[in-house]
Amino acid sequence: MSGGVPVSAARRWLPHLGIAVIVLYCLAPFYWMVVSSFRRTSDIFDMSVLPSPWSLENYRAVFGGDTQFGRALLNSLVVAGATTVLTVVLGTIAGYALARLTFRFTNVVLAVVIATSMFPGISLLVPLLKLFTGIGWINTYQSMVVPNLSFALPLAIWYLTTFFRQLPFELEEAARVDGCTPGQAFRKVILPIAVPGVFTTAIIVFVVAWNEFIIALTMVNRPEMQTATVRISQFVGVAAYDSPFGTQMAAGVVATVPLVVAVLLFQRRIVAGLTSGGLK
């Protein structure tokens, strides 16, 4: 107790303990989802830490019968991929323009852009549904991509504008001295340096678009056009009023795997993009 050793040790270990508690709290639902997906239907309410016996019954049910879950995964990939590509392209151009162009109301424009993402998504569903019905977009990919774009693009523009402002303007001046046009300086000098920020934005947008539910549920009613999140919510049990918890758990695991793989493969780029904005 003397000399302050216990206090020093506590100060050193308490932050690690706090981080461990937070990580366990966040991962517990995912752990239970994975464990439950390997239980038999008759054991789904078993509270044991590990399933006994292990079973692939739920995974066979996910891809069996008329669930069309494989097609739903493909639909999610198309919607999330198209949303990500369009958001990154438009967000990069707009973010660079707002970061480099000087005019009186730059901050006002940025405030308006970010304000558009604060409207509750559900408040826009009725007018969008009426609009898309009138132009024949119901049960199409664009009826999901365009609303996703309206929510993802403002955040991408805001983040990329902040990121481009951190890059020294002298890089473009040096490129202009060497004979580059403004477009060439952007493509050959700025974009390669901005890869971490652009890549991080793309991953965030992809995850948000992949997990989107309410827009896909409203705009699409044909099973072959539904995304994975909507299809999971519509799984039915063997009998009436029977909730297929095991099948839904297995489908949740399958739908989460692409996101986990993407984050694990590109974690260094994601971290570099998130931290580069604070470095000069």
Instruction: Report the alpha-carbon distance of residue 169 to residue 175 in Å, rounded.
Output: 10
Q: What is the pLDDT of residue 236?
A: 74
- Per residue in 118-144, pLDDT (tens digit) is 878 788 888 999 999 999 999 999 999
Q: 38: which DSSP letter?
A: T
| Residue 227, token pair as written in the block | 């995304």
pLDDT value at residue 71: 94
- Per-residue pLDDT of 191-208, as tens digits, reads 888 888 888 889 889 999
| CB 82, CB 234: distance < 8 Å | no
Residue with the bigger pLDDT between 30 and 268: it is 30
pLDDT band, residue 5 (cuts 50/70/90): very low
Tokens read off for 224? 């072959």
Average pLDDT (146-154) is 91
Burial class (CB in 10 A: 0-12, 13-18, 19+), 211: middle
Q: Summarize pLDDT for 204-236 with one digit per residue, the tens.
A: 899 999 999 999 999 999 999 999 999 998 887
Mean pLDDT of the chain: 85
Locate 49 and state its tokens.
């830490």
Q: What is the DSSP string of 156-225?
A: HHHHHHHHHHHS-THHHHHHHHTT--HHHHIIIIIHHHTHHHHHHHHHHHHHHHHH--HHHHHH--SGGG
For residue 22, pLDDT beyond 50: yes
Q: Which of 103-107, 129-133, 187-191, 250-254 has the lowest mean pLDDT?
A: 103-107
